[in-house]
Amino acid sequence: MVQVNADYLKLKAGYLFPEISRRIKDFNSKNPNTDLIRLGIGDVTEPLPLACREAMKAAIEEMGTAESFKGYGPEQGYKWLRESISKNDYSTRGCEISAEEIFVSDGSKCDSSNILDILGKANKIAVTDPVYPVYVDTNVMTGRTGEANLKGEYQGLSYIPINSENGFEAAIPKEKFDLIYLCFPNNPTGAVATREQLVSWVKYAKENDSLILFDAAYEAFIKDDSIPHSIFEIEGSRDCAIEFRSFSKNAGFTGTRCAFTVIPKSLKGKAGKEEVDLWSLWNRRQSTKFNGVSYVVQRGAEAVYSEEGKMQVKKLVSFYMDNAQIIKANLTSAGFEVFGAINAPYAWIKTPNKLSSWDFFDFLLENANVVGTPGSGFGAAGEGYFRLSAFNSRENVEKAMQRIVKL
Ligand SMILES: *Cc1c(COP(=O)(O)O)cnc(C)c1O
């Protein structure tokens, strides 16, 4: 019989979203015809911006004649998209990121997983707790951890707690880590990192020769002008950081699929004593294992940076952020302790009466018919918290709030 990758068997069986589905199914079978409102998973709900749809329609027409037909594109993405990104997401914020340093992909979930392909196995790794489960699980799958304990913490990974006691600030570690995953604005807590905090992280990384993997999937939701949108706004970051960005949340591309990863050419790692460019390794990796994002979708992504596109994306983002504000205001007035939801589309709620995250999940499901996400699903330190997402229609958000406030 064929050998399997036994590292997969270390993964905790009850992964968050399947368990949520199981409980919903169970509830539905006992309570048919209940109008459930889902503020659980982090998926957008509003239609794609018109500018993106029009650009994609035009691109499809181009595919319809031999003269303008496109076959395989560059594995790294089309130059015009990479130049648009470089200009609009980086130059305008004073970051020197060239088009060549931008690798277009079909998603940040894949990129933040695939990046492990070019990194060694002996690196000491730190993640925040709670955390986007993808970072942890891909380290488990690739044999970079030991087994999990009862709380779900894996041997060989270090956890930096972010909670109400430390103001959801990831404290700079005293020990040396080679690889640190940071996600700000944060999923699931909705917290942001200030410029001072990011400056401290870059200083730490440079002093310790560490690499920061910075996930900025939610940067478009930042309202506070003093909060950096990119790690590359911090001086020195070109020597110690890789950034993941996605069109999923700002432009509603969760089902359309387009993202990008930024690897500065100045970024170095080592193989034994030899210094190696991470850019070259990633370029090699993408050229071998990836054949690029569809031409049509890249034209759709490019339209995000057109004048109309920018306006439409801004409107989309503020629609969700108004939802976030409604959630925060209602729950706060109902006596809940609510974090986040100011510069991020997630409200992170302390469960009342010290209920466990899953008990509060069941309580809301049964009594308000509202589905959220138990904080403990994002890590041991998420226990006692609960995530509500602002990704839904205004009507559903308002109805959900009325039901919760009434309890
Ligand atoms: C939604 C999300 C992403 C985006 O993933 P895609 O694969 O680009 O859709 C990345 N990181 C975090 C933390 C997210 O929540």
DSSP state of 156: T
Between the CA of 256 and the centroid of ligand 1 the distance, in Å, is 13
Atom of ligand 1 nearest to the CA of 249: 1
Cβ-contact 305, 60 below 8 angstroms = no
Distance of CA 404 to the CA centre of its chain: 27
258 lines ligand 1 (CB under 6 A): no
217 lines ligand 1 (CB under 6 A): yes
Between the CA of 112 and the centroid of ligand 1 the distance, in Å, is 9
Q: Residue 12: what pLDDT?
A: 81
250 lines ligand 1 (CB under 6 A): no
Between the CA of 153 and the centroid of ligand 1 the distance, in Å, is 22
Between the CA of 90 and the centroid of ligand 1 the distance, in Å, is 20
Can you spell out the DSSP letters for 231-242? GGGSTTGGGTEE
Between the CA of 107 and the centroid of ligand 1 the distance, in Å, is 7
Smallest CA-to-CA distance from 156 within 123, 205, 120, 128 is with: 123
248 lines ligand 1 (CB under 6 A): yes
Residue having the nearest C-alpha atom to atom 14 of ligand 1? 217
Q: Residue 14: what pLDDT?
A: 60
Q: Residue 13: what pLDDT?
A: 62
Residue having the nearest C-alpha atom to atom 11 of ligand 1? 217
254 lines ligand 1 (CB under 6 A): yes
> Which region, left, alpha or beta, applies to residue 250 given φ > 0 means left and ψ of -120 to 50 means alpha?
alpha
Helix (H) or strand (E) holding 402: helix 394-406
Between the CA of 245 and the centroid of ligand 1 the distance, in Å, is 8
Q: Domains of the chain, with CATH numbers?
A: 6-47+308-406 (3.90.1150.10), 53-305 (3.40.640.10)
Q: Residue 164: what pLDDT?
A: 95
Q: State pLDDT tens for residues 338-378.
A: 999 999 999 999 999 999 999 999 999 999 999 999 999 99
Atom of ligand 1 nearest to the CA of 246: 8
Between the CA of 117 and the centroid of ligand 1 the distance, in Å, is 19
**Percent of the chain scoring above 90 in pLDDT:** 96
What per-residue string of b and e applies to 290-303 under the rule 16 or more CB within 10 Å gives b? bebbbbbbbbbbbb
Q: Which stretches in the chain have pLDDT values below 70?
A: 13-14
Q: Are strands 259-262 and 102-105 parallel, antiparallel or unpaired?
A: antiparallel
